């Protein structure tokens, strides 16, 4: 999964020969999982067709405020388009368009959208060598940078004029890589490692049967995705579950039993900055595991159980600078029990949810939680999707750790 997944990317195309590369740029953004819309200057349509770009982006292409060929003309709202974008990329950016951007000239839809955008703006210059080196162009570069816009440096190579030198638009792959790296550098958990547990554990009775619970792992996987989107390197230790995730930033460690999870978690805790233990770990396991399948003979079967290791408490006992988060699923006296766990296990934050709340608990895609901090702040939340709960949790951790 790319850091650009689910991002809204607005691609602006101006009238340079390098516009032909824009088709591949759209394709690469789509491949990274982004949503893409395209806005063109009218003259850029002489270099690449809107049909090509709309087909690749699966969205209409904008080049004017109204469609002149439509008898029922509808205004293309440049403000809405600018607000829609998480990232605005202008590639190619000609000397003409950059000069207009630098001086507030607004004579087409692309420029109007640029002046309305609230998101980060990247521009990839493309022009001949002498134009690229001209003082007016370098002045545009400086002014645009002073506005907070980010320049994707042009490459050196053969130019449309036949000259060889600087001014060639960066290749689409390099543009995507530049933006990905820049986005990552801005993320608050860049360089941090987050350890997360998810799912149930299964405790063997014999080679066929086990003791387990109904945890689906959805909450833990949602937290892992939320942490990775903030730039963290995530270690996800998960019990048996049907959940899956594909991301360059999430390393999945599959385990089965509470003992397996204890061992795997302790491997990674010392090198982690944040640990979030959302797994539903079995509290007990069979004292003796049969080596052969137990046959059905008697009308009753007695299995002696013993406690499993308390993973959360063991981490609380050895933590140094780690921010430690636990989960408490309760059925009665919820708040008191959660506060007790927060203190006894030396946690920085505990997430309480109750099986009494409709829509919360195992197997569903929603959750209703209460956050309790070590400073005794109690933050109640309404019923939300587990993805939204995960985002709320990560934002609270950021606030608590000042990351």
Angstrom distance (rounded) from CA 135 to CA 141: 10
Q: Which residues contact 402 (CB under 8 A, 6 or more apart)?
A: none
- Among candidates 93, 189, 88, 95, which has minimal Cα distance to 148? 88
Tell me the pLDDT of the chain averaged across its residues: 92
Does residue 1 form part of some domain? no
43-52, 150-159, 243-252, 327-336: range with highest mean pLDDT: 43-52
Indicate if 255 and 317 belong to the same structural domain: yes
What's 103's domain CATH number? 3.40.50.1950
What's 275's domain CATH number? 3.40.50.10300
Indicate if 182 and 200 belong to the same structural domain: no
Positions marked active-site: 213
What domain count does the chain have?
2
Does residue 3 form part of some domain? no
Put residue 81 in one of left, alpha, beta given phi > 0 → left and psi -120 to 50 → alpha: alpha
Average pLDDT over residues 129-155: 94
pLDDT of 2: 80
pLDDT above 60 for 69: no
Does residue 55 form part of some domain? yes
Indicate if 213 and 293 belong to the same structural domain: yes
Give the pLDDT band of residue 220 (cuts 50, 70, 90): very high
- pTM (2 decimals)? 0.81
Which residue segment(s) compose the domain that 384 sits in?
193-401
Indicate if 218 and 157 belong to the same structural domain: no
pLDDT of 66: 66
Please return the burial class of 316, using the count of CB atoms within 10 Å of its CB with bins 0-12, 13-18 and 19+.
buried
pLDDT above 70 for 165: no
Cβ atoms of 393 and 323 closer than 8 Å = no
Does residue 201 form part of some domain? yes
pLDDT above 60 for 132: yes
Q: Which of 166, 186, 206 is the last residue of a domain?
A: 186
Indicate if 166 and 230 belong to the same structural domain: no
Indicate if 42 and 151 belong to the same structural domain: yes
| Of the listed ranges 34-48, 296-310, 333-347, 357-371, the one predicted with least confidence | 357-371
Average pLDDT over residues 360-385: 88
Average pLDDT over residues 29-54: 96
What H or E segment, with its residue span, contains residue 235?
strand 233-238
Indicate if 179 and 205 belong to the same structural domain: no
The 10s digit of each residue's pLDDT in 273-298 is 999 999 999 999 999 999 999 988 87
pLDDT above 90 for 128: no
Indicate if 107 and 150 belong to the same structural domain: yes
Angstrom distance (rounded) from CA 371 to CA 392: 10
pLDDT above 70 for 264: yes
Cβ atoms of 403 and 188 closer than 8 Å = yes
């Amino acid at each position: 999964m790319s850091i650009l997944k689910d991002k809204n990317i607005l691609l602006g195309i101006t009238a340079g020969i390098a516009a032909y590369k824009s088709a591949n740029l759209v394709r690469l953004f789509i491949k990274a999982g982004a949503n893409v819309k395209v806005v063109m200057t009218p003259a850029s349509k002489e270099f690449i067709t809107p049909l090509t770009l709309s087909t690749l982006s699966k969205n209409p292409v904008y080049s004017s405020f109204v469609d002149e060929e439509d008898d029922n003309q509808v205004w293309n709202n440049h403000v809405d388009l600018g607000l829609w974008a998480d990232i605005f990329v202008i590639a190619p950016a000609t000397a003409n368009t950059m000069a207009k951007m630098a001086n507030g000239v607004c004579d087409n839809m692309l420029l109007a959208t640029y002046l309305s955008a609230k998101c980060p703006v990247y521009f990839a210059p493309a022009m001949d060598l002498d134009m690229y080196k001209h003082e007016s162009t370098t002045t545009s570069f400086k002014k645009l940078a002073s506005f907070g816009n980010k320049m994707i440096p042009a490459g050196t190579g053969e130019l449309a004029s036949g000259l060889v030198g600087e001014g060639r638009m960066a290749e689409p792959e390099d543009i995507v890589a530049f933006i990905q790296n820049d986005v990552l550098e801005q993320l608050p958990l860049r360089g941090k490692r987050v350890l997360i547990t998810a799912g149930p554990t299964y405790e063997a009775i014999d080679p066929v049967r086990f003791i387990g619970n109904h945890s689906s792992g959805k909450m833990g996987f949602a937290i892992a995705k939320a942490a990775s989107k903030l730039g963290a390197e995530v270690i996800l230790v998960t019990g048996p579950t049907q959940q899956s995730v594909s991301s360059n930033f999430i390393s999945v460690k599959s385990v089965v039993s509470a003992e397996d999870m204890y061992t795997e978690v302790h491997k990674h805790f010392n090198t982690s900055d944040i640990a979030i233990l959302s797994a539903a770990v079995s509290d007990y396991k069979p004292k003796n595991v049969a080596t052969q399948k137990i046959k059905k003979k008697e009308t009753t079967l007695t299995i002696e159980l013993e406690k499993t290791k308390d993973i959360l408490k063991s981490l609380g006992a050895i933590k140094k600078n780690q921010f430690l988060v636990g989960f408490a699923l309760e059925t009665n006296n919820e708040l008191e029990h959660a506060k007790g766990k927060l203190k006894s296990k030396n946690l920085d934050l505990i997430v309480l949810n109750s099986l009494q709340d409709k829509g919360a608990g195992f197997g569903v895609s929603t959750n209703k939680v209460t956050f309790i901090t070590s400073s005794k702040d109690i933050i109640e939340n309404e019923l939300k999707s587990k993805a939204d709960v995960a985002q709320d949790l990560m934002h609270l951790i950021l606030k608590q750790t000042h990351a």
